[in-house]
């Protein structure tokens, strides 16, 4: 079985955040990013399925190069492969269309119930 797990790159909830440009833009300076907590649950379940049924787990992220540490963490946790769609996740429809395109050929797609950064 081939499992695809969608992961998001979100600010650590313990990070202090700031805004710039008259409080209209998120300032990422000094902010730690992590796998979204709900996505982490999906990844853990996929790893359990991998261990019990011999499935392969691929993680998918829509984001720019700065999401690489998050993807590497997912691989360290136990994912077998990773796909990064090199694009700014500007809106939900765009991200969904990228996920739909990449999900072809997978038997199961897992993701968190929501992202904590929107």
Contacts with 22 (C-beta within 8 Å, 6 or more apart), sequence order: none
Model's pTM, two decimal places?
0.86
pLDDT band, very low/low/confident/very high, at 117 (cuts 50, 70, 90): low
Q: Taking residues 9-31, report their average pLDDT.
A: 74
Q: Provide the pLDDT for residue 27.
A: 66
Each domain of the chain, given as residue ranges in start order, spans 2-110
Q: How far is CA 77 from CA 12, 68, 70, 80, in A?
A: 18, 14, 11, 9
Q: Provide the pLDDT for residue 21.
A: 72
Which of 14-28, 44-58, 93-107 is the least confident region?
14-28
Q: What class has domain 2-110?
A: alpha beta
């Amino acid at each position: 079985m081939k499992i695809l797990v969608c992961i998001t790159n979100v600010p650590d909830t313990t990070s202090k955040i700031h805004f710039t440009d008259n409080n209209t833009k998120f300032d990422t300076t000094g902010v730690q990013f992590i796998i979204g907590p709900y996505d982490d649950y999906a990844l853990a379940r996929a790893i359990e399925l991998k261990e019990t049924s011999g499935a392969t787990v691929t993680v998918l992220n829509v984001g720019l190069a700065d999401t690489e540490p998050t993807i590497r963490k997912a691989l360290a946790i136990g994912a077998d492969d990773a796909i990064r769609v090199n694009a700014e996740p500007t809106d939900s429809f765009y991200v969904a269309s990228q996920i739909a395109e990449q999900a072809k050929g997978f038997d199961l797609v897992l993701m968190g119930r929501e992202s904590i950064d929107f």
